[in-house]
């Protein structure tokens, strides 16, 4: 049994979460009650809504858009039993009028065979945290009358995106190792002083795009070199077989300190995140025309095999070798990698285990159920602190999980994933709420929130977070059919990168600036120039023929 004080967990979400037009701010009568990280045995429970005063009925719903009339008995509305296998209760209810106060005083959860009156007297109050969406602090919402016209302005176009791609492509070409005697032959030498396998996989895709665009066979050869180098980072035997190592210098994988930037000595442990990303990039290169042979397909198969073996709980894939946390990014990535490998192997005439698709469905199902009302996925499933609010702290995690969730849902085996459109609608709205007006430089642009003062790693300042957001928003616009304002938001974020986070003067630095915080240094994820190039093409493809004008 548990009791919840309504004031601790009730919030009023922005109007556009409830089907109201984006154009101008309006008040509404919908309230959201949500509590996460419940310590209850999985199963069905009675849920009673205790009201501030007696009434005949209450309008209650579970998606913020559709509501049913539930009769009240005195000051109590008892809902049909709810399955709380997912440790979260999330529901909506209406006030008596627009702008009216919340009619809810308390929520009581008790067993199906339990007694409500006893529960009201004896159930302990849940006080692990107090919900605060931080909506009142978000600049986009506070300055909506300025923000929305800027968001919907025209100007930035597909031509600008293509120019950005060519700048990045030129960087990839200049930095590729072409000396066949070099142990890093085919790699893209990062400005972070490493020869990363993920960068090379993205380079292979970028070069394949260039070959398709131009017909120049030199690009095709470069793509082959890059793909061949990627395999140098894949483990070939033992429990690690199939998994990829990640080139990084610094703290990685818990408390482990790593300095791995060259192919010297044995490969370090497997990174599940990079393994999944590399699988997707190898599949993309093959789809674009970088013809795979038997060995190429075998590398994809082995990588997927490691991912499948990394599922240590239903739908939960390891973030890295030995990890035991339920990371929602890893779950989306793992599901995506298995679905994409299955799709690619079948496309090229090979069989792939149906068990991969079954595991992918478990992963996506678990991912969807972890999403909160505002559209955010806490980094670790059902945990408090890195979730629950419109905050810059989840900007990189949201992009990583959402983009690869969308990629998985495009595969034949996972199309029609239950709850897809509702999850995407809310996720896009979360991005809207964590956007801001950047006044610096030549004029106002739209950026994502990030911590602009203080220390720490500050992932949300990494420029690639903007690419991930824009690529996700472009796909959401296509998948849901709700084209605006998501097309515009995707283009505005890319416009901000082009205008304020682009290097046009130093040929020894990548065209894209690593971070909005120039004081950050780490040989890790900060610079993802080759991957950014692929995300640009992804944005262009999913915005469609109308992307010539924003």
- Quote the pLDDT of residue 177: 98
The span from the CA of 387 to the CA of 85, in Å, is 20
Q: What is the mean pLDDT of residues 456-483?
A: 93
Q: In the prediction, which pLDDT does 524 show?
A: 72
Residue 523: predicted pLDDT = 62
The more confident residue out of 459 and 395 is 395
398 and 537 co-located in one domain: yes
Residue 314 maps to a domain = no
CA angle 315, 392, 91 (to 5 degrees): 55
Cis bond upstream, residue 298 (ω within 30) = no
How far are the Cα atoms of 18, 232, 281, 472 from residue 338, in angstroms, in the given order?
A: 35, 21, 13, 20
Q: Is residue 57 domain-resident?
A: yes
pLDDT, tens digit, for every residue of 347-381?
999 999 999 999 999 999 999 999 999 999 999 99
Contacts of 141 (CB under 8 A, 6+ apart): 14, 25, 135, 433
Residues facing 188 on adjacent strands: 176
Residue 457 has a pLDDT of 62
Gap between the Cα atoms of 485 and 490, Å rounded = 9
Q: Which residues fall within 8 angstroms of residue 186, CB to CB, at 6 or more apart?
A: 176, 177, 200, 225, 226, 227, 228, 229
Measured CA to CA, the distance from residue 72 to residue 77 in angstroms comes to 5
Please indicate, yes or no, if residue 357 is contained in any of the structural domains.
Answer: no
Indicate if the pLDDT at residue 547 is higher than 50: no
The closest alpha carbon to 248, from 296, 190, 303, 291, belongs to 190
- Residues 175 and 58 grouped into a single domain: no
Q: 166 in a domain, yes or no?
A: yes
Residue 423 shares a structural domain with residue 535: yes
Q: Do 502 and 388 reside in the same domain of the chain?
A: yes
Alpha carbons 390 and 387: distance in angstroms, whole number: 8
Q: Is 149 part of any domain? A: no
Q: Within 13 Å and on the Cβ side, how many CA atoms surround 344?
A: 31
Instruction: Give the pLDDT score at 254.
Output: 59
Q: How far is CA 12 from CA 73, 352, 448, in A?
A: 25, 47, 22
End-to-end alpha-carbon separation of the chain, Å? 52
What CA–CA distance (Å, rounded) separates 199 from 281? 10
Please give the structure tokens belonging to residue 97. 């009028």
Q: Are residues 427 and 487 in the same domain?
A: yes
Band (456; pLDDT cuts 50, 70, 90) = low
Q: What is the pLDDT of residue 257?
A: 75
**Domain for residue 66, yes or no?**
yes
| Torsions phi, psi for 446 (to 5 deg) | -105, 125
What six digits make up the tokens of 131?
Answer: 């919900």
β-pair type (104-111, 44-51): antiparallel
User: For residue 480, what is the domain's CATH number?
Assistant: 1.50.10
Find the helix or strand (DSSP H, E) in which 437 lies.
strand 435-438
pLDDT for 315: 97
Q: How many domains does the chain have?
A: 2
What pLDDT does residue 488 have?
Answer: 97
Q: Is 365 inside a domain boundary?
A: no
What is the mean pLDDT of the segment spanning 163-191?
97
Residue 454, pLDDT above cutoff 90: no
**Which residue is listed with tokens 């013809």?**
291
Residue 548 scores a pLDDT above 60: no
- Secondary structure E strands in 173-274: 248-251, 257-260
Q: Is the domain of 99 the same as that of 162? A: no
Distance CA 462, CA 450 (A): 9
Of 167, 174, 178, nearest to 191 by C-alpha is: 174
Does residue 87 sit within a domain? yes
pLDDT at 509 over 50: yes
Q: What is the pLDDT of residues 32-65, one digit of tens each?
A: 999 999 989 999 999 999 999 999 999 999 999 9
pLDDT at 255 (0 to 100): 64
Q: Encoding tokens for residue 219?
A: 């690009």
What percent of the chain is predicted at pLDDT more than 70? 97
Instruction: Tell whether the model's pLDDT for residue 329 goes beyond 70.
Output: yes
Q: Which of 87, 112, 131 is the last residue of a domain?
A: 131
Residue, of 517 and 224, whose pLDDT is higher:
224
Closest C-alpha among 7, 72, 161 to residue 541: 161
Kindly state whether residues 257 and 380 are assigned to the same domain: yes
Angstrom distance (rounded) from CA 225 to CA 245: 19
Residue 59 has which token pair? Answer: 């309008």
pLDDT in tens, 294-324: 999 999 999 999 999 999 999 999 999 999 9
Name the residue among 369, 513, 357, 371 with its Cα closest to residue 430: 371
pLDDT of residue 451: 86
CB atoms within 10 A of CB 369: 17
pLDDT tens readout for residues 214-262: 999 999 999 999 999 999 999 999 999 999 999 988 766 556 677 899 9
Instruction: Give me the domain span that covers residue 502.
Output: 158-272+285-292+373-548
90 and 162 co-located in one domain: no
Residues 31 and 163 in one domain: no
Pairing mode, strands 89-94 and 57-61: antiparallel
**CA 424 remoteness from chain centre:** 11
Same domain for 212 and 122: no
Stretch 184-207: mean pLDDT, rounded? 96
Whole-number Å distance between alpha carbons of 379 and 547: 32
Task: Say yes or no: 417 and 512 in one domain.
Answer: yes
Q: 532 to each of 124, 417, 509, how far by Cα in Å?
A: 50, 27, 15
Residue 117: CB partners within 8 Å, gap ≥ 6?
A: none
Same domain, 202 and 79: no
At 405-445, the pLDDT tens digits run: 999 999 999 998 999 999 999 999 999 999 999 999 889 99
Q: Provide the 10 A C-beta neighbour count for residue 85.
A: 11
Q: What is the CATH number of the domain that holds 121?
A: 2.60.120
Mean per-residue pLDDT of the chain: 94
How much of the chain, in percent, has pLDDT values that exceed 90? 89
d(CA 174, CA 495): 25
Cα–Cα–Cα angle for 239, 243, 246, nearest 5°? 125
Q: How confident is the model at residue 343 (pLDDT cuts 50, 70, 90)?
A: very high
Tell me which of 114-123, 170-179, 327-336 is least confident. 114-123
Listed residue (405, 415, 283, 275) closest to 345, CA to CA: 283
Go through 252-272 and write b for each residue having 16 or more CB atoms within 10 A of its CB, e for each that does not. Answer: bbeeeebebbebeeebbbbbb
- Provide CB contacts within 8 A for 266, sequence distance 6+: none
């Amino acid at each position: 049994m548990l009791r919840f004080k309504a004031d601790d967990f009730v919030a009023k979400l922005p109007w556009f979460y409830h089907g109201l037009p984006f154009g101008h701010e309006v008040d509404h009568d919908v309230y959201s009650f949500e509590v996460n990280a419940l310590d209850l045995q999985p199963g069905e429970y009675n849920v009673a809504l205790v009201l501030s005063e007696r009434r005949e009925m209450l309008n209650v719903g579970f998606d913020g858009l559709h509501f049913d009339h539930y009769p009240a008995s005195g000051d109590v509305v008892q809902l049909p039993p709810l399955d709380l296998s997912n440790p979260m209760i999330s529901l909506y209810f209406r006030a008596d009028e627009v702008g009216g106060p919340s009619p809810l005083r308390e929520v009581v959860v008790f067993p199906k065979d339990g007694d409500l009156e006893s529960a009201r007297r004896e159930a302990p109050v849940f006080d692990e945290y107090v919900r605060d969406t931080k909506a009142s602090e978000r600049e986009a919402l506070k300055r909506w009358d300025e923000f929305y016209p800027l968001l919907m302005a025209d100007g930035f176009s597909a031509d600008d995106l293509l120019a950005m791609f060519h700048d990045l492509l030129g960087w990839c070409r200049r930095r590729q190792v072409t000396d066949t005697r070099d142990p890093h032959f085919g790699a893209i030498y990062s400005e972070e002083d490493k020869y990363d396998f993920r960068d090379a996989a993205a380079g292979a895709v970028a070069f394949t795009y260039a070959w398709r665009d131009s017909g120049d066979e030199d690009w095709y050869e470069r793509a082959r070199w890059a793909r061949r180098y990627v395999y140098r980072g894949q483990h070939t035997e033992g429990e690690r077989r199939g998994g990829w190592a990640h080139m990084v210098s610094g703290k990685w994988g818990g408390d482990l300190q790593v300095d791995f930037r060259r192919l010297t000595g044995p490969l370090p442990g497997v990174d599940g995140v990079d393994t999944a990303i590399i699988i997707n990039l190898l599949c993309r290169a093959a789809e674009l025309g970088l013809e795979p042979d038997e060995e190429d397909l075998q590398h994809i198969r082995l990588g997927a095999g490691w991912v499948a073996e990394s599922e240590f709980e239903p739908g939960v894939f390891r973030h890295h070798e030995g990890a035991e946390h339920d990371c929602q990014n890893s779950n989306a990535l793992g599901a995506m990698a298995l679905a994409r490998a299955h799709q690619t192997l079948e496309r090229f005439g090979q069989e792939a285990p149906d068990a991969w698709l079954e595991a992918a469905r478990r992963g996506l199902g678990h991912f969807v159920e972890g999403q909160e009302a505002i559209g955010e996925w806490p980094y670790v499933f059902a945990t408090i602190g890195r979730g629950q609010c419109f905050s810059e702290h989840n900007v990189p995690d949201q992009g990583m999980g959402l983009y690869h969730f969308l990629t998985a849902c495009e595969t034949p085996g996972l199309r029609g994933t239950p709850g897809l459109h509702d999850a995407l609608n809310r996720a896009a709205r979360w991005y809207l709420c964590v956007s801001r007006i950047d006044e610096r430089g030549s004029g106002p642009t739209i950026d994502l929130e990030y911590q602009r003062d203080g220390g720490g790693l500050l992932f949300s300042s990494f420029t690639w977070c903007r690419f991930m957001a824009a690529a996700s928003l472009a796909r959401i616009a296509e998948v849901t059919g709700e084209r605006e304002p998501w097309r515009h938001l995707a283009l505005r974020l890319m416009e901000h990168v082009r205008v304020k986070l682009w290097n046009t003067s130093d040929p020894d630095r990548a065209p894209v600036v690593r971070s909005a915080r120039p004081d950050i240094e780490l040989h890790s994820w900060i610079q993802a120039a080759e991957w950014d190039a692929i995300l640009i093409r992804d944005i262009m493809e999913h915005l469609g023929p109308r992307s010539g004008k924003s």
